[in-house]
Amino acid sequence: MRFILFLGVWLLLAPVSLLAACERPVQVGWAPWPPYQYLDNGDRPAGLDIDMVEAVLDEMGCERIYQNVPWKRRLLHIESGKLDVIAGASYVPERDEYGRFSQPYRQESVVVFARPEDAERLSDESNLLALGNERERIATVLGYYYGEDFERAIRDPDFRDRVFELPTEEAAFRMLEAGRVTTVVADPYVAARSFSRNPQWGQLVPVETLYRTDIHFLLSRASLPADFATEFDAALERLERRGVLNRIRDRYELHQSGLGDAKQP
């Protein structure tokens, strides 16, 4: 009886738009990108980002369906409304036109990696964006955002010609290992996971932190009402106050030997 009374009160107090949004499962886009997103031993989506979105949607009382979609297509699906929520989004003004950014839930940095024989020379440069000469070739991941300075630099055709966009960080590190590029730009936590699976890459050296930013969830304007985004942020704040988000962050803390030695911006 107490549960029924509690449920009745909750239904009366909950915003109508939130109840409407939760009448159907929330469509969540993801793709393997450990340690943030990956498949666990039971072939279920897991990782820091997944645990965060699970906690928020549980707090809101929403069911969810996960769709494995590459990053660039995820953004298109947020724009069209085929997806409702994606994690791991940097703030980019263009994305604000079709999505609503949540409050930040973690930070992310991007580090420049090189082979040992190139590291000292590259460390003497003011930053990666000064490497606009023919001997430097840079590997990135297709569709990823590396900060406004990088976006500005890549508008230069000569600089862009020396940037190779790959489907994954591991593909980029394979190019670096083979000597086809001189640098890889990557998230250090993702790099650490790649190095654990490919020990030969452990010799690669971080030479510079190119970019550091807050990371958000991105909610589709096409498929979700503004009230849903407000409630999403409210759920994030409640979980933050109760320490739930910090416990999730602590579970995924990585001890990255050597990865913290990159030159800071």
Residues 112 and 211: their CA atoms lie apart, in Å, by 10
Residues β-bridged to residue 110: 211
Residues 185 and 208: their CA atoms lie apart, in Å, by 9
Q: pTM score, two decimals?
A: 0.79
Contact yes or no for 115/201 (Cβ under 8 A): no
Token pair recorded at residue 238: 């409640």
Q: How far is CA 1 from CA 13, 58, 134, 218, 261, in A?
A: 19, 23, 75, 39, 59
Question: Containing H/E element for 163?
Answer: strand 163-166
- What is the tens place of the pLDDT at every residue in 127-177? 566 555 566 899 999 888 888 888 888 888 888 999 999 999 999 999 999
DSSP assignment letter at 178: T
Count of residues making up the chain: 265
Whether the per-residue pLDDT at 260 is higher than 70: the answer is no
Average pLDDT, the chain: 85
Residues 96 and 94: their CA atoms lie apart, in Å, by 5
Domains of the chain: 2-106+213-251 (3.40.190.10), 108-212 (3.40.190.10)
Token pair recorded at residue 44: 């279920």
Quick count: other Cβ atoms within 10 Å of Cβ 149?
14
pLDDT for residue 256? 37
Q: Judge if the upstream peptide bond of residue 25 is cis by omega within 30 degrees of 0.
A: no
pLDDT for residue 130? 58
Contact yes or no for 176/118 (Cβ under 8 A): no
